[in-house]
Amino acid sequence: METLFFDGFNDLLRTLTAAPILYIAVIIFVRISGKRSTSQMNNFDWVVTVAMGSLMASGILLKDITILESVGAIGLLPFLQWLLTWTMVRSSAVAKLVRAEPTLLYHDGKFLSQAMRRERVSEYEVLSAVRENGFVDLQNVQSVVLEANAALSVLPKSEKQIANPAVQDIHSLSSGALS
């Protein structure tokens, strides 16, 4: 029970040394990896970010993991993420395998309950997104889309014909599944 609050100066010194070094390493790797690592994240970006935090904590607190091992593991994750995104940009097959597609949740006055159940999104969440985007009447909303980054996009109705719609990548619209 005597080690509950203090286990000796060696462990304390290790923690006080490892924490700033690993903190600086994370900042450097996030800076090197670019804006993608701190922008709206997709699932893979989020996993890498959480894993980096876990590796940092392990390097600070676990005695059998060296600071250099932690820095190496933390640096490897953003590199692997960069490699994956680089490959996705160059290979549509890899992109299709990895990237989540946007999902239409509301369209032309109808909640698409099957899509909402599949994505585990409630009608309340859709209505909340509509209000957050300044709409008070669903008659003014054309569509609500669950984006690949889990954000909800609310698209207003438009009187004019749109030549190149931003919803062209939504499978249920382009395949005519709503017709």
* Burial category of 145 from C-beta neighbours within 10 Å (exposed 0-12, middle 13-18, buried 19 and up): buried
Domain boundary among 97, 121, 148: 97
Instruction: Say whether both 86 and 104 belong to one domain.
Output: no
Instruction: Say whether both 28 and 92 belong to one domain.
Output: yes
Cα of 15 vs its chain's centroid, Å? 30
Number of domains in the chain: 2
Q: What is the pLDDT at residue 55?
A: 94
Instruction: Say whether both 17 and 90 belong to one domain.
Output: yes
88-117 burial code (b ≥16 CB/10 A, e <16): beeeeeeeeeeeeebbbbbbeeebbeebbe
Residue 106 falls inside a structural domain: yes
Q: What is the pLDDT at residue 101?
A: 84
Q: How far apart are CA 157 and CA 50, in angstroms?
A: 38
Q: What is the pLDDT at residue 36?
A: 58
Bridging pattern class, strands 110-111 and 141-146 = unpaired
Q: What is the pLDDT at residue 32?
A: 83
Residue 131 falls inside a structural domain: yes
Instruction: Say whether both 160 and 135 belong to one domain.
Output: yes
Task: pLDDT tens for the chain, 179 residues: list them.
Answer: 567 777 888 888 999 999 999 999 999 988 887 765 555 566 777 788 889 999 999 999 998 999 999 999 999 998 998 898 889 899 999 988 888 888 999 999 999 999 999 999 999 999 999 999 999 999 999 999 998 878 899 999 887 666 666 766 676 665 555 54
Residue 144 falls inside a structural domain: yes
Instruction: Say whether both 55 and 73 belong to one domain.
Output: yes
The amino acid present at 94, given as its one-letter code, is V
Q: List the CATH number of the domain containing 144.
A: 3.30.240.20
Q: What is the pLDDT at residue 159?
A: 73
Instruction: Say whether both 52 and 124 belong to one domain.
Output: no
Instruction: Say whether both 32 and 43 belong to one domain.
Output: yes
pTM: 0.64
Instruction: Say whether both 109 and 56 belong to one domain.
Output: no
Domain boundary among 97, 115, 133: 97
Q: What is the pLDDT at residue 11?
A: 86
Domain boundary among 79, 97, 115: 97
Show the domain range for 16.
Answer: 9-97
Residue 3 falls inside a structural domain: no
Q: Catalogue the long-range contacts made by 125-128 (C-beta closer than 8 Å, 24 or more residues apart).
A: 125/152, 126/152
Instruction: Say whether both 107 and 78 belong to one domain.
Output: no
